[in-house]
Amino acid sequence: MKRIVDSYLREWKDDSYRKPLLLRGARQIGKTFAARELGKLFPHFVEINLENYSESERIFQGNLEPERILQEFSLITKQSIIPGKTLLFIDEIQAVPRAIIALRYFYEIMPELHVIAAGSLMDFAIEQVGMPVGRIQSFYMHPMSFMEFLSALGYGLIIKEILVHDTTQEMSSVIHDKILRLLAEYHAIGGMPEAVYFWKNEKEALRVTNVHKTLLDTYRQDFNKYAKKREVERVALLFEQIPLQMGQKFKYSQVEGEYRKRELAPALDLLVTAGVATKVFSSAGQGVPLGAQMDVQDYRVIFLDIGLSQSMLGLSLNEWFLNPGGAFVNKGSFTESFVGQEILAYINPMYKKDLYYWHSPARGSQAEIDYLVQKEDKVVPIEVKGGTGRTLKSLHIFLESHKASTYGVRFSTLNYHQYENIYSYPLYAVAKVIGVDQPEMKKALEYLAS
């Protein structure tokens, strides 16, 4: 299954100024698979999993001389490691945090060697030892986007049509309805690669649900790896709470138990560091960068994947297949979360980006904008509607109070349309709006369609 990151990895491979690379992101989103796919382009591929070797810790004790480390890796794997011809892949690098420090010496002493490292809870290891500044690159990975989902199912022509379609013209109603049905399918399955794989090959929703449950249990088992004993219960409570509060400001008062915010907030931060949750910060949105005007105490939270979210809540997937139009209306919070996932997926993976939303500071006002994004030097408000969403009061309020924002975007199940300074796009067109004006991302999206 093709991934957006594949295109960026190939550019990294051929870049004479590349640095050792960390693939970062939550467990089971395809980091190892991506590294192995890249390895097929090299004469030699050597993979070593630091969790599987009891002597791993000893390898990185003492000096971190690359030649010595490579010699030991060669003996362990029984393979030669040849700079310029070998891709060295160090998996589960978080098992030995000092190995992250060793990467800087590969860059300084042996820059011709291609080195990639990945790990399911890598960010916690980075917090322990730090990141060697200017010596290591990072690519941030996410669950499969809708474009990647279409690619996996063989709909390359639909991807091309979405990418090249003239947004001033309506999509053919037949094609529009077809893509919406596929989007409903994606809402049910989600973007976890294992779930997509089984859906592609077996088309059994029950099998996908079982995959979701297994993945969720894996995430729960991780709590003991990164949370202190007294924190595990709080992390578990918040883990279950996130899907319940999607689409609204996160309130700790709604979490069961007698914990206070100051006790629960650090537990949520652990889930964010683990990659299973993302905060969407409130921003005034009066200019760029959006982060300069955000309120770090005011945020929404979205879960890693909409498919997993629904499985956590025990929701039936049938409506997405039998009545997709009704599902988009009835499960609007998942569609809002979907757009957040899509925005993250179509940002250059070299950078970790925050998400932002807006709500009116006026007392009694209910005006809210689901997402704010930066396009060049402009702030663009994005409103998400699960159905046709004809009421756009919040968008009008935002644009009237933010004169530097010259237009707004509405994603809904409606076809392409423009009225005055509000552009209406179908929900399936997030890649078109966010990704196509970035040359490298456009290339990656075109790769998915090929």
Confidence bin at 258 (pLDDT 50/70/90): confident
- Asked whether residue 234 carries a pLDDT value surpassing 90, the answer given is yes
Q: What is the pLDDT of residue 404?
A: 94
Question: Are 192 and 45 found together in one domain?
Answer: no
Nearest C-alpha neighbor of 428 from the set 418, 416, 417 = 416
Q: Are residues 342 and 230 in contact, defined by beta-carbon separation less than 8 angstroms?
A: no
Tally Cβ neighbours within 10 Å of residue 362: 10
Question: Are 129 and 154 found together in one domain?
Answer: no
- Asked whether residue 389 carries a pLDDT value surpassing 70, the answer given is no
Query: Strand order in 21-24's β-sheet?
Result: 44-49, 86-91, 114-118, 21-24, 137-140
3-state secondary structure (DSSP) of residue 349:
coil
Triad 91, 117, 111: Cα angle to 5°:
140
Question: Are 82 and 153 found together in one domain?
Answer: no
**Which residues is 295 bridged to in the sheet?**
282
Q: Distances from the Cα of 55 to the Cαs of 9, 41, 73, 88, in angstroms?
A: 30, 30, 11, 18
Residue 207 lies in domain: 146-449
Q: Are residues 306 and 336 in contact, defined by beta-carbon separation less than 8 angstroms?
A: no
Mean per-residue pLDDT for 342-358?
Answer: 96
Triad 413, 186, 162: Cα angle to 5°:
55
3-state helix, strand, coil in the chain (%, to 5): 50, 15, 35
Cis amide leading into 289 (omega within 30):
yes
Question: Are 82 and 220 found together in one domain?
Answer: no
Confidence bin at 127 (pLDDT 50/70/90): very high
**Which residues is 418 bridged to in the sheet?**
423
3-state secondary structure (DSSP) of residue 294:
strand
The last residue of a domain, from among 140, 168, 184 = 140
Q: Alpha-carbon Rg of the chain, whole angstroms?
A: 22
**Sign for the pseudo-dihedral over CA of 327, 332, 333, 335:** positive
Residues above pLDDT 90, as percent of the chain? 92
CA dist., res. 312 & res. 297, Å (int): 26
Amino acid found at 409 = V
Q: What is the CATH number of the domain that holds 21?
A: 3.40.50.300
The answer to whether the predicted template modeling score (pTM) of the entire model surpasses 0.85 is: yes
Block residue for tokens 């449950």: 213
Question: Are 109 and 225 found together in one domain?
Answer: no
Question: Are 192 and 172 found together in one domain?
Answer: yes
Question: Where are any strands of DSSP class E within 246-386?
Answer: 277-283, 294-303, 355-359, 368-375, 378-384
- Asked whether residue 391 carries a pLDDT value surpassing 80, the answer given is no
Token representation of residue 191? 């973007």
The last residue of a domain, from among 140, 163, 197 = 140
Question: Are 237 and 254 found together in one domain?
Answer: yes
pLDDT (tens digit, 9 = 90+) per residue, 36-76?
999 999 999 999 999 988 888 899 988 999 999 999 999 99
Question: Are 216 and 280 found together in one domain?
Answer: yes
3-state secondary structure (DSSP) of residue 387:
coil
CA dist., res. 352 & res. 372, Å (int): 16
CA dist., res. 182 & res. 135, Å (int): 42
Kindly give, in sequence order, each residue whose CB lies less than 8 Å from that of residue 14, ignoring residues fewer than 6 positions away.
Answer: none
Nearest C-alpha neighbor of 151 from the set 182, 173, 122 = 182
Block residue for tokens 């995959």: 211
Phi, psi of 118 (to 5 degrees): -145, 165
Report the number of distinct structural domains present in the chain: 2
Q: What is the pLDDT of residue 181?
A: 97
The last residue of a domain, from among 140, 174, 202 = 140
CA dist., res. 125 & res. 131, Å (int): 10
Question: Are 33 and 100 found together in one domain?
Answer: yes
Residues above pLDDT 70, as percent of the chain? 99
pLDDT (tens digit, 9 = 90+) per residue, 74-124?
999 999 999 999 999 999 999 999 999 999 999 999 999 999 999 989 999
Nearest C-alpha neighbor of 349 from the set 90, 16, 29, 28 = 29
Nearest C-alpha neighbor of 266 from the set 234, 224, 298 = 234
Q: What is the pLDDT of residue 231?
A: 95
Question: Are 343 and 275 found together in one domain?
Answer: yes
Token representation of residue 332? 């609007």
Q: Are residues 219 and 27 in contact, defined by beta-carbon separation less than 8 angstroms?
A: yes
Provide the pairing of β-strand 417-419 with 422-426.
antiparallel
Provide the pairing of β-strand 378-384 with 408-412.
parallel
Phi, psi of 195 (to 5 degrees): -65, -45
Question: Are 106 and 183 found together in one domain?
Answer: no
- Asked whether residue 205 carries a pLDDT value surpassing 80, the answer given is yes
Q: What is the pLDDT of residue 297?
A: 95
Question: Are 200 and 280 found together in one domain?
Answer: yes
Mean per-residue pLDDT for 137-164?
Answer: 98
Average model confidence (pLDDT) across the chain: 95
pLDDT (tens digit, 9 = 90+) per residue, 417-437?
999 999 999 999 999 999 999
